[in-house]
Amino acid sequence: METVVSGIRSTGKLHLGNYFGAVKNFVKMQHDNNCYFFIADYHSLTTHPKPEDLQRNVRQVLVEYLAAGIDPEVSTLYIQSDLPEVAELYLLLNMNAYVGELERSTSFKDKIREQKDNVNAGLLTYPVLMAADIIIHKAHKVPVGKDQEQHLEMTRTFSNRFNRMYEVEFFPEPVAYNFGESLIKIPGLDGSMKMGKSESGNNAIYLSDSPEIISKKVMRAVTDAGPTEMNQKMPQEIENLFVIMKSVSSNDMVEHFQNLYNRCEIRYGDFKKQLAEDVIKFTEPLREKILELSADDTYLKKVVKMGAEKARESGRKTVSEVREIIGFNPR
């Protein structure tokens, strides 16, 4: 059984894009792999969140991933800061990470443009902390998006460099976990290719959104004036809505509206009303589970404690062995 490690952002609620993109695959792969899922609260410190915001966000993320199907009895679900050994491994790896290679990181270049008044050392060494998160459990595979591929490559660099420097075969070389055709990309309601945060707040449908909010968002979704020729190619914003419908509606319903579009008979008001109803029906059990878990502090504390214990059992062993390899006295 292979070890798989994946980080979970500690900010932002789960939306349909997250759910169909990664979370459904996490739920499946946890039964076939030794999975570690961590909520990356250390990483969030690069934006200097307020303590109350940090705690609220971590709790929200924990609740929503549990509601989506992550099983803490099957996989290891933990909060990053509950594994202090990762901070020690981060420090040790930093000694073998070079400023030049960190400055060439695409994400670092993007971040210093986005937050010019807060270019902190954490942004520069972000790939090192990410590497520590992965190799502390000697991961074989890591589910990564396109924007994280460079970080995974840097993780392999740091792992191999450690092995060469100390003449050991200690850290495996992690590779990307490929979801293949099972990875569904959900576009946004505003015509963009990706569902996610937006200034208007109307691009994403969150799993915790109420039926009223979902209806308003879908009815405000971007559309055009309608088709003018039989079987004409759909503009991007209309194709986006059909992609969402294919994810939550029956095949017959999708085919019905596609035929109306091809015959130039579609009424977008009716189409979006049906889409909203189907999204509400699809998200209802998830929304109810989120509400149920949010009210159960005892269970959430149990999950956090269990996850921390399981993660530390793995992390302590790795760091103890790393210290011995480097030459520190055994604890």
Q: Which residue in this structure is represented by tokens 């495996």?
A: 172
* CA 298 to each of CA 56, 70, 75, 273, 301: distance values in angstroms, whole numbers, following the listed order: 16, 18, 20, 39, 5
Phi (first) and psi of residue 195, to 5 degrees: -75, 135
pTM, rounded to two decimals = 0.90
Q: What is the DSSP string of 137-171?
A: TT-SEE---GGGHHHHHHHHHHHHHHHHHTT---S
Residue 329, pLDDT score? 75
Amino acid code (one letter) for 47 = T
Give the total residue count for the chain.
331
**Separation of alpha carbons 222 and 49, rounded Å:** 33
Q: What is the DSSP string of 195-263?
A: ----SSS-S--BTT--HHHHHHHHHTS---S---STTPPPPHHHHHHHHHHHHHS-HHHHHHHHHHHHT
The b/e string for 157-174 (b: 16+ C-beta within 10 A; e otherwise) is: bbbeebbeeeeeeebbeb
CA angle 232, 233, 234 (to 5 degrees): 115
* CA 169 to each of CA 70, 137, 159, 274: distance values in angstroms, whole numbers, following the listed order: 32, 15, 10, 57
CA angle 47, 52, 56 (to 5 degrees): 90
Q: Could you tell me if residue 293 is left (phi over 0), alpha (psi between -120 and 50 degrees) or otherwise beta?
A: alpha
Residues with active-site annotation: 111, 194, 197
Parallel/antiparallel/unpaired status of strands 175-176 and 141-142: parallel
Q: Which residue in this structure is represented by tokens 């707040």?
A: 201
Closest CA to 13 of 288, 311, 287: 287
**Separation of alpha carbons 81 and 266, rounded Å:** 52
Query: What tokens appear for 98 in the block?
Result: 């070079």
Residue 307 near residue 315, CB atoms below 8 Å: no
What are the 10-residue block averages of pLDDT along the chain, 331 residues in total? Answer: 90 87 89 96 92 94 96 97 97 95 86 85 93 97 76 93 97 85 79 77 89 96 92 94 96 97 96 98 97 97 98 97 90 59
Residue 106, pLDDT score? 81
Query: What tokens appear for 267 in the block?
Result: 């009424």
**Separation of alpha carbons 190 and 223, rounded Å:** 9
